[in-house]
Amino acid sequence: MQYQSQMVAKPYFIAAIGLFVAQILFGLIMGLQYVMGDFLFPEIPFNVARMVHTNLLIVWLLFGFMGASYYLVPEESETELHSPKLALALFWIFLVAGALTIVGYLAVPYATLAKITGNDLLPTMGREFLEQPTITKIGIVIVALGFLFNIAMTVLKGRKTTVNLVLLIGLTGLAVLFLFSFYNPDNLVLDKMFWWWVVHLWVEGVWELILGSILAFVLIKTTGVDREVIEKWLYVIIAMTLITGIIGTGHHYYWIGTPEYWQLLGSVFSAMEPIPFFMMTVFAFNMINRRRREHPNKVAVLWAMGTAVMAFLGAGVWGFIHTLSPVNFYTHGSQITAAHGHMAFYGAYVMIVLTIISYAMPMMRGRAAANSNKSQVMEMWSFWLMTVSMVFITLFLTAAGILQVYLQRMGGDAALSFMVAQEKIALFYWLREGAGVVFLIGLIVYIASFFVGGKERAETA
Amino acid sequence: MSGAFTKSMARNIFYGGSAFFIFIFLALSFDTVRALPERDHRENITPQVALGKKVWEENNCIGCHTLMGEGAYYAPELGNVYNRFGNSKEAIIGFIKSRPVEGNPGRRNMPQFNLSDEELEAVAEFLKWTSEIDDANWPPNIQG
Amino acid sequence: MQKGDHELLLTSTITWLLLLALTLVTYAAAQLGVEGKWLILGVLAIALIKGKLIIDRFMGLRWVGSFWRPMLDLYLFTVGGLIATAFLLP
Amino acid sequence: MGESDSPVLSQQKATLSMTVPDSNRTSCAITTDYPPGDVAIWIFILAELSVFALLFVVYAFTRHYNLELFDLHQQQLDSRSGLINTLTLITSSYFVVRAVAAIQYGNARLCSRWLWGAIALGLLFLLVKGVEYQHHFSLGIGLSTNLFYTFYISLTFFHFMHVIMGMVILTVVALKAGRGGYCATEHTGVETAASYWHMVDLVWLILFPLVYVMR
């Protein structure tokens, strides 16, 4: 670690992992509620558990992105962070605001929370993923602006690398697009249309720039390949991302009241969305094959390769499966969407945050370039446990989704009602829950890997 | 000259290509917003429908149900519930009202939200309005 | 400019005139109200020949060995083949 | 431009290991692995071509299932403007070929003149297409009118935008050429722009018969 101020990333990473654990616990609760409907009812109804599960995911990924930025921007800029104090202050503001929001979700009925937080003044609550009280949303904007200011000032004062610029563009896009969460018209169609400007243009747009730049940074550091080569491909990949992804938004505009030409445009452009992910996979493996040195932190390289592969599978392949409008007509809003969502988020965003944590943490904990072998082996176990179980979660949900579509949406008059169809596919939900438990075990192993082999040194430092 | 592959060209393509596609997307969005009035029947968005949407949001219905296929997949699609319930607002209201506070043992349960009569009417009206949006004939059948 | 250069310019000029002529053929076909699947496929074939001329002569891929030229040839054949299939379907 | 023709050129090229002498571009049989211009633009070209390929193929199959609708509305298109625009783009592409040839001999002023000619023809294309659009819009025809017009406008408008994009690129290159920014040994930029412009032409050469003629 070259700059003292990079250390502010540490609390961000720790908070991210903590919230990750909570997210998975609530995921398991939901999974159980899928098959044991009355589990924790009425204390924690499904909608509350889901809100906690998804919001925690977003919040801990944001913590991860911020931590990643605080870690890599000083190193890339070759200068200390503009204001480590601001970074720390924002950390606590964000953590407390996030925690209070989650407590609010759990402690009082959602309608009460809406009332207390003054949703009447500017109603923004109650939309998928944007359930946060308006005041929390304002807090997010403030934290995002402060964070952006801090990062931008650092970049401006130091060396301007491609990694930094792309990251900055991604983070700015993230903040700007979030502003659409304040637009909530009475007209449901308009509401949904611009809701996607937050959700789609985040995960299939600007977040991919953040993902790309973090991956490029880790590859530069661990492979020793010429920065020029890696940055060149970074540009090509993110160019492809935006070329396909922006009009690819159209694949959400098939059935929400928007004009039908989106079925053509959305299908064509989103069918191309796997391409940048495929390029990213080829790129990562290529760079690692061309590596000029053996970095002692093998597990970080493993995470990086895992990101490239799983992002392609989850976001690329599983996205493509149901992106064409004639297919999506039947699969829209089924468990197939859930399957895609799980693997895409894990493969692209969870894994990239774990990649940078895996790369940066040993150095921030004063362990030279890498953890001891013992610790690394344990972390690799967690990698495989989590990744394989996520593959199975996805496969089980896909099977459930195919059956659901078949039973509920095909077969004319003989089609089953939603609830009856759900009972028929309960077996797959049980299997999914089982895979979820393995995932949790993987996560526990992951956390345990931080606490083993501290005294031993990595084999090759 | 052959054989060049430069970072500056890759960068130009990123900026140029992105700007190009953002522009096209904005143009299409503009056309969409102009075309919407014929599809969303906004003339029927009464204050009651607007209140219904607010009730829908403030009870986080989207946390279990889908609405036009978007939301959670724990409970039935509601974009066409008005039609599924025999084009009856009363049936919708009756269903929401009759949810037991402690739930039915062993089954997926909808909470009892204790909505006022005005709110119940509003949410039913909202769901009726939603069912009339021209959404390219989705879902494939009445089961949603 | 010497002999070889004139040859090159001549080639591109001939290509250009050929493209213009082929376009006029296509247009004439349209004006004459050409019907029937095979004639229509003739129009498509002309389009593909024109595409091939552009790729080889104008884009200069004629002397590019690996990857790019085969890629673009593959492109023409795939697109042309699929369009032809759609027009031939009963 | 064989090696014997341009000794200065080939001497310079011999020092660059990545490049292949331009002599390959005459009729001798040696081939190169690199396309003209920057490889980055070729990745972009391939992506753009793929989008158009999908649009073309979906058009063809959708037409098959809506024959009457497509035939009816296709006949209302003005195939004369389609013809003019095809001739315009082909000629414009030819101008660009001449521009590249000019800069290969180091004649930057000639290069820039050919490029401006190509840009002017691009403008003519936009004008003709614009008149055509004007006609459609005055009849109240838009993207949502029917399936045929959804395709017709999507395809042609998307291409229209590419013509504008290509013209922007050509303009940048023409200005730089006019300032003497390229020479016989370093003119990747001209070749890059040329490749993009030919792609725009190539797409139209399929689009024109498919949308205007084939029925």
> What is the DSSP secondary structure assignment for residue A312, as one 8-state letter?
I
Q: Which of C12, C43, C63 sits opposite D24 (nearest CB)?
A: C63
- Residue A140's nearest CA partner among A194, A88, A109, A179 is A179
CB contact under 8 A, C8 and D33: no
Chain C within 8 Å of D5 (Cβ-Cβ)?
yes
How many domains is chain C built from? Answer: 1
Helix (H) or strand (E) holding B66: strand B66-67
CA atoms within 13 A of residue D106's CA, in its CB half-sphere? 6
Look at A385 and D13; give whichever has higher pLDDT.
Answer: A385
Rounded to the nearest 10 degrees, what angle do helices A207-223 and A351-364 cross at? 40
pLDDT band at D9 (very low <50, low <70, confident <90, very high): very low
Residue D24 has what pLDDT? Answer: 41
- Cβ separation A255–B68 shorter than 8 A: yes
A371 has a pLDDT exceeding 70: yes
- pLDDT per residue as tens digits for the range A104-137: 999 999 999 999 999 999 999 999 999 999 999 9
- Contacts of residue B9 in chain D, CB cutoff 8 Å? 38, 40-41, 192
**pLDDT averaged over every residue in chain C:** 88
CA distance D27 to A173: 51
- Which residues sit opposite D38 in a β-bridge? B4
Give the residue with greater pLDDT, D4 vs A177.
A177
Which residues of chain D make contact with C27, given a CB cutoff of 8 A?
A: 79, 82-83, 86, 213
Average model confidence (pLDDT) across chain A: 96
User: Are residues D158 and D92 located together in one domain of the fold?
Assistant: yes
B6 touches chain D (CB under 8 A): yes
Q: What is the pLDDT of residue D29?
A: 47
Per-residue model confidence (pLDDT) at position D30: 58
* pLDDT tens digit sequence for A385-432: 999 999 999 999 999 999 999 999 997 788 999 999 999 999 999 999
Subunit contact D35:B13, Cβ cutoff 8 A:
no
Going by the DSSP 8-state scheme, the letter that residue B136 receives in this structure is T
Please give the backbone phi and psi of residue D144, each rounded to the nearest 5 degrees, phi first: -100, 5
Q: What is the dihedral of CA A382, A385, A390, A393, to 10 degrees?
A: -140
| Angstroms from B9 CA to nearest CA on chain D | 6
Both tokens of A256, joined, read: 């929400």
Mutate to test the interface with A, among B6, B11, B14 (most CBs of A within 10 A): B14
Residues in chain B with CB shorter than 8 Å from the CB of A38 are 103-109
Are the beta carbons of D154 and A261 separated by less than 8 Å? yes
pLDDT exceeding 90 applies to what percent of chain A? 96
AA identity, residue A351: M
Contact A158, A78 (CB under 8 A): yes
Confirm if A295 and A358 have CB atoms less than 8 A apart. no
Answer yes or no: is pLDDT of D2 > 60: no
pLDDT in tens, B60-104: 999 999 999 999 999 999 999 999 999 999 999 999 999 999 999
Say yes or no: domain B41-144 is CATH 1.10.760.10.
Answer: yes
Please compute the mean of the pLDDT values over residues D9-18 and round it to a whole number: 36
Domain that holds residue D67: 36-213
Whether D12 shows a pLDDT value over 90: the answer reads no
Verify whether the Cβ–Cβ distance C27 to D213 is below 8 Å. Answer: yes
Chain A meets chain B (3+ C-beta pairs below 8 A): yes
Write the pLDDT tens digit of every residue in D132-153: 999 999 999 999 999 999 999 9
Residue A147 has pLDDT above 70, yes or no: yes
Looking at residues A433-446, what average pLDDT do you find?
98
B97-120 mean pLDDT: 96
d(CA A143, CA A124): 18
Give the Cα separation of A108 and A356 in Å (integer): 36
- Residue A376 and residue C5: Cα distance in Å, rounded? 64
Q: Which residues pair with residue B70 across a beta bridge?
A: B67
D136-D137-D139 Cα angle (round to 5): 70
Q: Class of the A166-177+198-451+457-461 domain?
A: mainly alpha
> What's the one-letter identity of residue A44?
I
Residues in CB range of A289: below 8 A, 6 or more apart: none
A452 pLDDT above the threshold of 70: yes
Q: What is the dihedral of CA C54, C58, C63, C66, to 10 degrees?
A: -50
Best of D65, D94, D195 to substitute, by most chain C Cβ atoms within 10 angstroms, is D94
Q: Where are the domains of chain A?
A: 1-160, 166-177+198-451+457-461
Q: Is the pLDDT of residue D11 over 50?
A: no
Residue D27 has pLDDT above 50, yes or no: no
The pLDDT, as a whole number, for residue D18 is 37
pLDDT digits (tens, 9 = 90+) for C27-71: 988 788 767 787 788 999 999 999 999 999 999 898 887 789 999
Mean pLDDT of chain B: 96
Classify residue A339 as left (phi > 0), alpha (psi -120 to 50) or beta.
alpha
In 3-state terms, chain A is what percent helix, strand and coil (to 5)? 80, 0, 20
For residue D31, what pLDDT band results from cuts at 50, 70 and 90? low
Nearest alpha-carbon partner for A440 in A24, A146, A158: A24
pLDDT in the model for residue A457: 58
pLDDT the model gives residue A461: 42
Q: How far is B2 from chain A (nearest CA, A)?
A: 18
Percent of chain D exceeding pLDDT 90 equals 81
Q: What is the arithmetic mean of pLDDT over D4-32? A: 42
Average pLDDT estimate for D197-211: 96
Total domain count, chain D:
2
Q: How far is CA D100 from the centre of its chain?
A: 14
Confidence of residue D171 (pLDDT cuts 50, 70, 90): very high
Residue A369's pLDDT band, with cuts at 50, 70 and 90, is confident
Question: What are D62-72's pLDDT values in tens digits?
Answer: 999 999 999 99
A264, D150: Cβ pair inside 8 Å? yes
**Tell me, what's the pLDDT at C36?**
77
Q: Is the distance from CB of A211 to CB of A65 less than 8 angstroms?
A: no
Report whether A322 contacts A331 (CB < 8 A). Answer: yes
Q: Residues A187-223, buried b or exposed e (16+ Cβ, 10 A)?
A: bbbbbbbbbbbbbbbbbbbbbbbbbbbbbbbbbbbbb
Residue D37 to chain B, least CA–CA distance (Å): 6
User: pLDDT confidence of D166, banded at 50, 70, 90?
Assistant: very high
Sketch the domain layout of chain B as residue ranges.
1-35, 41-144
Identify the CA nearest to B64 among candidates A424, A103, A128, A409.
A128
